[in-house]
Amino acid sequence: MSIRLSRVSLDYPGGFRAVSDISCNIGQGERVAIIGPSGAGKTTLLRLLATAMCPSSGELGLLGVNPWRLDRAGLRRLRGRVGMVHQSPPIPPRQRVVTAVLAGRIGKWPAWKSLLSLAYPMDIEGARSGLARMEVADKLFQRCGELSGGQLQRVGVARVLYQQPDLILADEPVSAVDPALSDRVIGELNREAIARGVTLVASLHAVDLALHWFPRIIGVKGGEIAFDLPPVRVSDAMLADLYASEAAHVPTQDNQPLEVAPKGIRRRPLCY
C-alpha cells in the first residue's frame, strides 16, 4: 500500500480545519486525480502526503511506514522516495535549468556527488532527456528566472521524472502550461507511473484532464471526500454539486467551462 489515511485531519492556527476526517487507501501503482473547487483542501492533502505537514489527528501511512514515527535520518530517506511537482516550483531564479533537474537525485546521491553537481552538472544527458520529454530541452543551460511560468512548471516535472521516485505527487502541475501542452505533461507523468509501476496522485483544476487520464477520481469539498470513483461513474450531477460554490460550470484545461446540464460534460476516452 503506497498511501493509507485513517481519519486524518489538519487544523491551521486559528482553528480553521483544512482537511477533515479523511480516510482513504491508495495502492501501489494506482493513478489518482484529486479534483474540487478552490479552497477544498487539495493542496493541503498533497502537502500532508509529501510530509511537509504533520496531521493534527489521525494516522498517515506512506510507502509502508508512518513518517512521523521515523527518526530524522529515516524521514529524510523517505522524502527522497517521494517526488513532488509544485504549482510554483521552489527553484532559485539564478539556478541553471540543468542543475535544477539534477537536484532531483540529491536525496539519492552521496554528499560529495551532490555538492559537486551544484558546481559542475554530473549527468547533463540525463537532465536533457527529462527536459526533452517536457519539450524544454533547449532551455538546458538557461537560468530558471528567465523562463515563463509554464516552462518552469515543466522543468519541475522534468526534475521529478529524473528523480524516479516511488511515489509521484503533483499539485496543479499544468496550471501555467499552455492547454496544447497540458495533455503532454499529464500524459508523461502517467506513462512514467505505468512504466515503473509507481503511484501517481495529482490535484487538477481541469476536470477534463482528470477524467481523461486517471482511472480513479477523488472529489474533495470542504476538506472532506465527496466521492471516490472511476471516471465512468462520476456523473454530471456529482460534478455540478462539487463545483456549486464556484459557478454553474465545471473548469477545463482551456479555461472555457463546459456546461454541466443539460448537455453534460464532453468526455474523452480514458487513456493509459
User: Could you tell me the three cell numbers for 74?
Assistant: 529515516
3-class DSSP state for residue 223? coil
Whether pLDDT at 200 is above 70: yes
- Give the span between the Cα atoms of 134 and 185, in whole angstroms: 6
Whether pLDDT at 51 is above 60: yes
Whether pLDDT at 207 is above 70: yes
Domains of the chain: 1-81+213-272 (3.40.50.300)
- pTM, two decimals, is 0.90
Question: 111: which residues sit within 8 A by CB, 6+ positions away?
Answer: none
Whether pLDDT at 94 is above 80: yes
Residue 116 to residues 67, 119, 121, 248, Cα–Cα distance (Å): 30, 5, 8, 54
Whether pLDDT at 265 is above 90: no
- Give the span between the Cα atoms of 19 and 9, in whole angstroms: 5
Question: 108: which residues sit within 8 A by CB, 6+ positions away?
Answer: 80, 163
- Which pLDDT score, from 0 to 100, does residue 202 have? 98
Residue 21 to residues 9, 92, 147, 184, 247, Cα–Cα distance (Å): 5, 36, 40, 35, 26
Q: What is the pLDDT of residues 154-197, one digit of tens each?
A: 999 999 999 999 999 999 999 888 888 999 999 999 999 999 99
